[in-house]
Amino acid sequence: MSFPTNTNAIDFDSARLQRFGFAPAHGFVPQPLDYQQLQRRLELQLQTSLEADKILAMFFQSVQQFIPLKALNYKHVGTDLRLEFGERSRHNASYCITHDGEQMGELAFQRDRRFAEVELTQLEALLATLLYPLRNALLYRNANLSALRDPLTGAGNRIAMEQSLTREAEIARRQQQPLSVLMLDIDHFKGINDTHGHATGDVVLRGVADAIKDRLRNIDQVFRFGGEEFLIVLTNTGRESAALVGERLRNAALQLTYPVNGSPVELTVSLGCSTLLPGESPDSLLRRADTALYAAKRQGRNRLEMAG
C-alpha cells in the first residue's frame, strides 16, 4: 500500500532572502507573533551545539509545538549519518536540502494526516533556521571522521579502532553479549607491491576494504590495523558466527581480481578470530586474534584460524 508523499527541494539561498523580506515565498501567509517567536528561538537554540543529532532533536521538539508532527527523519550520505526522531507515520513531507550547490542531506517530516499547504510553507520557513547550524555540524562531523579514518581505504584508523574496541568491550560486558574480532591479512602483499608497483597495491587495499564492508552488517566495523592488515569488530557475535563471517570474507577475497598489463592479479587472505572472554581486556582480545592470524599464515595461508 502506498501513501501520498510531498517531495520538495529547498534552496537556502532563496529561503534566506525570503526570510529577510527581499522576496515573497510562493503562497506565503503572514504568521502570528508566536510563530515569529518560534523562528527567533530556533535561531538562537540551534547555534548552541555542533552535534547534528542534538541540533535536529531541538528542531523537532520546537517545531512540534507549532505544527503537529509524529516523526523527523534525516540522512546525509556524505558522512553516512542517519537519524530518526519520533514514530514513523503514513504521510510524508520530504526536502532535499542544498546550499550553494552543496548537498546537506534529506529531511522528512511525518504524521498520520496530510500536510496543508500553509503548514508546508511554515516548515520551509523554519527549515531556513537550520542552514548554518546544520552546515557547521556536518563540517564538524566530517572533520572528526577524517581524523579517525584511513585516507586510502576509508576504513577506521588505529585511533578509531582503539576507541571503538574499548567501548564495544564495555558494552559487551555490561549487556552480557558476545563480542568477536577478526584480524585479516592480505597474503603475499609485498610481492604485489614489488611486482606491480605501489599504485596497484593501493588498488588492492581499497578493493579488499570495500569487499569487507559490503559483506558486513551496519553495526560491524572495519579498521585498517596497519599495512595490509584489517581488524573487523563484530558486535554481539559469538565464536561460531564470527567463524562464518570470516569464511565469507575469505571466499570474497578469492573472487577479487585486478588486471594489470593484461594479466590478473589474484589474491588470498588469512584470518585470525578471537571472542571476548570473561574479564578479558581489549588488548588481550587483539593479541589472541593476532596469534591466530599468524597460525593461519604458518599453516599455508588462505585460511581462518580460531584463537584458543
- Please give the positions annotated as active site: 228
C-alpha dihedral (254, 259, 263, 266), degrees to nearest 10: -20
* Cβ proximity of 38 and 125 under 8 Å: no
Counting beta carbons within 10 angstroms of the beta carbon of residue 93, is it exposed (0 to 12), middle (13 to 18) or buried (19 or more)? buried
Complete DSSP assignment for 24-80? PPTT--PPPHHHHHHHHHHHHHGGG---HHHHHHHHHHHHHTTS--SEEEEEEGGGT
Q: How far is CA 26 from CA 104, 105, 118, 146, 306, in A?
A: 23, 23, 10, 40, 65
Distance CA 10, CA 101 (A): 11
